[in-house]
A and B are shown apart, each in its own frame.
Chain A
Amino acid sequence: MNFYEHTLIAKQDLSTPDLNNIEKKYKDIITKTDGKVIKVEKWGLLNFSKKIKAYNKGFYIHYKFEADNKTLEEIRRNSIIDNSLLRHLTVKYKKLDTDTEYFKENNEKKK
């Protein structure tokens, strides 16, 4: 069981209920294939430095979890099929630091 960080970028024209069920969908995928979600961060609407598929902004959802190879394969397969996601990136870590949050302040500003 290794530690992973997975970030998703969803399209900007999604409504908040859509966003919530995207987040819930991938959380269920992780827990279903016996992974363990440690933390979920919503970085909110950030604009890209370059255009990604004709979009300038995107909702970022960040997962920190502990899982095996099966969950990774499942996540990758689903996020490729899912056309509301622009991009995703999974990073493997030996140990996760869940305390530092880099995108917390711009959420506070927006609220």
Chain B
Amino acid sequence: MKRKNNKFNKRPQNPLNKLSLFQKSDSRFSKKCPLSGKDAPKIDYKNIKLLKRYVSDTDKIMPSRITSVSQNKQRKLTSEIKKAKILGLI
């Protein structure tokens, strides 16, 4: 008897969710973090060529779910971008 109830408590399966999960797993998880490789560029407030890539055209810092940067590098990136902004480089 208990098992039956269990069946009805399951979350309603959303067909759309299944489809998007399939697509997401293809494109997003497979991408590796571009900054944590062996010969990755150094994250520095002077290295504006690199920092500009992770800043949107309205000078906002891009979220890591779009640029697939690892959390540790994303934290370094934001602090360096803010230092560059103070100096007016970015």
| Interface residues on chain A, number (Cβ under 8 Å) | 17
Q: Is the CB of B47 within 8 A of A102?
A: yes
Query: Is chain B's interface secondary structure helix, strand, loop, or mixed overall?
Result: loop
Contact pick for B42, options A49, A60, A100, CB 8 Å:
A100
| Interface residues on chain B, number (Cβ under 8 Å) | 15
Quick check: is A1 within 8 A (CB to CB) of the other chain?
no
Q: Is the CB of B48 within 8 A of A89?
A: no
Given A9-B87, A102-B47, 19 more A-B residue pairs with CB atoms under 8 Å apart are A9-B88, A46-B89, A48-B88, A49-B85, A49-B89, A50-B88, A58-B88, A60-B87, A87-B86, A87-B87, A87-B88, A89-B86, A89-B87, A91-B83, A97-B42, A100-B42, A102-B44, A102-B49, A103-B46
